[in-house]
Amino acid sequence: MKTVLITGACGGIGKATALYFAKNGWNVIATMISLEKCGDLDRVENISCFILDVTSTESINKCKADILQKYKNIDVVINNAGIGYRSFVELSEDDKIDAIVDVNWLGVVKISRAFIPVFRKQNHGLFINITSIAGLVNLPLGSFYHSTKHAVESFSECMAYEIKDFNIGVATVQFGNTPSNFQKNVTKSPESNVPSYVALMQKIDGLLAKKTKKNVDLKDDIVQTLFKIAANPPRHFKRYTIGFDANLLNILRKRVGYRLFSKIVRRSVF
């Protein structure tokens, strides 16, 4: 029976992924910031919930020790924990910047650093790092969120070279907006009295809400793809892009060049 560790498993994509893996015969280590958020996950026979703060090395080390007391091997780690921050650079706040960097990028770094020795000792393992289409293209009001996701993409590819000799794989997964609690919990910059900023924030909020409602089947596609990757790990570093929106943006950005892509984006939001 294989075992998967999922960060940020208390809701959204993380919870759906935990339930799907469990349903399909995997042991699931569902980690989250507080066990109060575990909800009904601990009622599923092959799901175990653990407290884990991905921003804290101390928390990670304690959680790792607790996990290894219960599980002999870990086959896959899915770095899913993430937060959003929609802000103009001028209005950005230090604590919000620090938080998104700590969770979205450094969280992946610290979790990977902690579990590479586990994978190396057992001579197999797979990291699946969830980024976003934001890790491949750049869009308005995404300066901080996109930067962290680009960082995870670069980090993942670099790390893959280092650990390939130990039969450890690395994959990244990108997708667009999907119905979950993520958009509801996105932190935004303070309200502005600059007309251009007000109009742009309203436009972006509306576009993202519309896309999120439209992508009703995307969550299932994401969860099933994550399972397929875990069940059949790629031999070499690989990026997986899921959903029409993400694939379209990725193809456009690669094929039309920055100037034309920029015009398309500006016409959509200005």
Query: For residue range 168-223, what is the model confidence (pLDDT) as tens digits?
Result: 999 999 988 766 566 667 889 888 989 999 999 998 888 887 766 665 668 899 99
Structural domains in the chain (count): 1
- What mean pLDDT is predicted for residues 98-112? 98
Q: Which two tokens stand for residue 47?
A: 């799901």
Q: Please, which residues bridge with residue 226 across strands?
A: none
Q: Is the pLDDT of residue 49 over 80?
A: yes
**What is each CA distance from 151 to 15, 98, 136, 170, 213, in whole angstroms?**
24, 14, 10, 15, 28
Query: For residue range 115-154, what is the model confidence (pLDDT) as tens digits?
Result: 999 999 999 999 999 998 888 888 889 999 999 999 999 9
**pLDDT value of position 268:** 73
Given the structure tokens 């990028």, which residue do they identify?
A: 105
**pLDDT value of position 205:** 86
Residue 74 lies in domain:
3-269
**pLDDT value of position 39:** 86
Query: Domain with 59 in it: what CATH number?
Result: 3.40.50.720
What are residue 18's phi and psi, to 5 degrees?
A: -60, -45
Calculate the average pLDDT of the chain: 91
Given the structure tokens 């993520």, which residue do they identify?
A: 182
Alpha-carbon span 268 to 270, nearest angstrom? 6
